[in-house]
């Protein structure tokens, strides 16, 4: 959410940003919030003036009563009563207008960074850099579900009976490899100086509204019926929510956290949710990284964070590339974002395995996350990035380490987590 003062003073910048995101239907909101803000400030000024007048008149009444000037005191009391009546009208009107302003402000997208390429959707995202040589072997790489089937590692028929489409059972060495990757991701980030955390897997609606846009919430979140609780779509949600209405000590910045959680997503409108593999599912596990920092440090941490994911996958013998998300592909709270994509030798193309984003002070403004220095309090910047989301990460490792005889090499970094195994046969 933007600062209303910024919108008031820079309406054309806000409108141009909306156009860059191809959300022209939101353009009228800018003038609407400016007009609402004008009414609110006028009402507040009137209310403050009436309260100040009431205080002065009350003192006069007291003085007149002491001087036995009853008639004069009664006349002033009538004015005080009228002031009180008007104040009683202003307060609910202010509350209603403020709620309307907040509702509209939360729909206006954040100002994107100048470096973000302008484009309508993810088809116009821009490749930044490749890391590792994308190899296509001279033998066929099977579909990932078929690779897993060779090791009796997947049962989607049973999960269909217990849970429906978009769920899965993993078994044996495949399940162990899945867990090994998560354990390695945890230790990888701890070695980078991040504090390991396991957060709540459900959060209240006010936290949901604080960390994501309404459109994202509608398409992603599962709500617990009859309770003010949502299943998290990523641990970023509850990790950022941890600091709601807090003043963080400036000396503790930057705060670097890496969190594990299961993740739950509705995937509304997703294509292929019923496919036989485990690329797009309703439930998965994830190691995340979160940073809270001073505004001037956020871009440095953004670059650090995506580079960690690149380094992580390269240590697993997986070629990757980074892709700059264009303006139309950015969620409304994001300032800048890039995807990390892994090479698929089967498909001969890259697919997304992680996403790094800086949200500026948008989440901090919604949730009231601040710090303090000698000049007063100010909002922090928040960033998040995927270290590993699996089973997608698992697919990347299986395909890129698959041998012609049907076995899979275990990357050296994962071998300690696999009891010393070097290969799955």
Q: What is the pLDDT of residues 411-422, one digit of tens each?
A: 999 999 999 999
Asked whether residue 114 is domain-assigned, the answer is no
290 plus 238 within the same structural domain: yes
CA 20 to chain centre: 21
274 plus 396 within the same structural domain: yes
48 plus 181 within the same structural domain: no
From the list 211, 379, 193, the residue with the least C-alpha distance to 289 is 193
92 plus 176 within the same structural domain: no
Asked whether residue 209 is domain-assigned, the answer is yes
Mean pLDDT to the nearest integer, 17-22: 97
At 320, which CATH number? 3.30.930.10
Asked whether residue 112 is domain-assigned, the answer is no
d(CA 300, CA 304): 6
Considering 46, 74, 105, which residue would you say is the last residue of a domain? 105
Segment 347-397, tens digit of pLDDT: 999 999 999 999 999 999 999 999 999 999 999 999 999 999 999 999 999
Asked whether residue 41 is domain-assigned, the answer is yes
Q: Which two tokens stand for residue 263?
A: 């993740």
Asked whether residue 117 is domain-assigned, the answer is no
**Residue 24 CB-density burial (10 A; 0-12 exposed, 13-18 middle, 19+ buried):** exposed
Q: What is the pLDDT of residue 240?
A: 97
131 plus 85 within the same structural domain: no
> Above 60 in pLDDT, residue 125?
yes
Considering 41, 71, 105, which residue would you say is the last residue of a domain? 105
Domain count, the chain: 2
CB half-sphere exposure, 258, CA atoms < 13 A: 24
30 plus 168 within the same structural domain: no
At 69, which CATH number? 1.10.287.40
Judge whether 14 and 33 are in contact, CB under 8 Å.
no
Asked whether residue 418 is domain-assigned, the answer is yes
From the list 294, 289, 278, 266, the residue with the least C-alpha distance to 375 is 294
142 plus 250 within the same structural domain: yes
230 plus 318 within the same structural domain: yes
Segment 315-346, tens digit of pLDDT: 999 999 999 999 999 999 999 999 999 999 99
285 plus 326 within the same structural domain: yes
Q: Which two tokens stand for residue 396?
A: 């990347």
Which structural domain, as residue segments, surrounds residue 406?
A: 122-424
pLDDT classification of 171: cutoffs 50, 70, 90: very high
Segment 181-198, tens digit of pLDDT: 999 999 999 999 999 999
In terms of phi and psi (left: phi > 0; alpha: psi -120 to 50; beta: otherwise), the region of 22 is left
> Above 90 in pLDDT, residue 109?
yes
264 plus 162 within the same structural domain: yes
d(CA 417, CA 373): 44
Asked whether residue 12 is domain-assigned, the answer is yes
Asked whether residue 113 is domain-assigned, the answer is no
d(CA 105, CA 112): 16
d(CA 78, CA 182): 72
pLDDT classification of 74: cutoffs 50, 70, 90: confident
CB half-sphere exposure, 348, CA atoms < 13 A: 5
pLDDT higher at 276 or 195? 195
Torsions phi, psi for 341 (to 5 deg) = -120, 140
**Residue 224 CB-density burial (10 A; 0-12 exposed, 13-18 middle, 19+ buried):** exposed
Considering 78, 105, 132, which residue would you say is the last residue of a domain? 105
230 plus 145 within the same structural domain: yes
85 plus 198 within the same structural domain: no
């Amino acid at each position: 959410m933007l600062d209303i003062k910024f919108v008031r003073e820079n309406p054309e910048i806000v409108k141009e940003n909306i156009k860059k995101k191809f959300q022209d239907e939101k353009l009228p909101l800018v003038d609407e919030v400016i007009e609402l803000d004008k009414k609110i400030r006028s009402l507040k000024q009137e209310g403050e003036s009436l309260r100040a007048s009431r205080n002065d008149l009350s003192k006069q009444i007291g003085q007149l009563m002491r001087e036995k000037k009853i008639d004069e005191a009664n006349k002033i009391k009538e004015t005080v009563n009228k002031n009180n009546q008007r104040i009683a009208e202003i307060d609910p009107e202010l509350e209603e207008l403020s709620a309307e302003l907040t509702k509209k402000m939360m729909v206006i997208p954040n100002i994107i960074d100048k470096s973000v390429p302008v484009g309508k959707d993810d088809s116009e995202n821009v490749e930044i850099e490749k890391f590792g040589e994308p190899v296509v072997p001279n033998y066929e790489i099977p579909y990932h579900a078929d690779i897993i089937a060779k090791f009796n590692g997947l049962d989607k028929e049973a999960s269909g009976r217990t849970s429906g489409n978009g769920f899965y059972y993993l078994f044996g060495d495949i399940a162990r490899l899945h867990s090994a990757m998560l354990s390695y991701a945890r230790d990888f980030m701890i070695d980078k100086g991040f504090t390991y955390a396991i957060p709540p897997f459900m959060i209240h609606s006010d936290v949901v509204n604080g960390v994501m846009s309404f459109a994202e919430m509608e398409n992603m979140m599962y709500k617990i019926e009859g309770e003010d609780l949502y299943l998290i779509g990523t641990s970023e949600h509850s990790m950022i929510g941890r600091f709601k209405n807090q003043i963080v000590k400036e000396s503790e910045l930057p705060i670097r956290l890496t969190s594990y959680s299961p993740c739950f997503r509705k995937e509304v409108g997703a294509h292929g949710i019923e496919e036989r593999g485990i690329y797009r599912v309703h439930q998965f596990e994830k190691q995340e990284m979160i940073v809270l920092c001073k505004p001037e440090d956020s871009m440095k941490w953004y670059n650090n964070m995506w580079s960690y994911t690149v380094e992580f996958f390269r240590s697993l013998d997986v070629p990757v590339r980074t892709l700059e998300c264009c303006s139309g592909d950015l969620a409304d709270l994001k300032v800048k974002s890039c995807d990390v994509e892994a090479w698929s030798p089967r498909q001969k193309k890259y697919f997304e395995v992680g996403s790094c984003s800086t949200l500026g002070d948008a989440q901090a403004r919604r949730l009231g996350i601040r710090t303090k220095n000698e000049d007063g309090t100010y909002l922090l910047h928040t960033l998040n990035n995927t270290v590993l989301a699996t089973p997608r990460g698992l697919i990347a490792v299986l395909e890129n380490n698959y041998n012609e005889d049907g076995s899979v090499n275990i990357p050296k970094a994962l071998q300690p987590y696999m009891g010393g195994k070097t290969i799955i046969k």
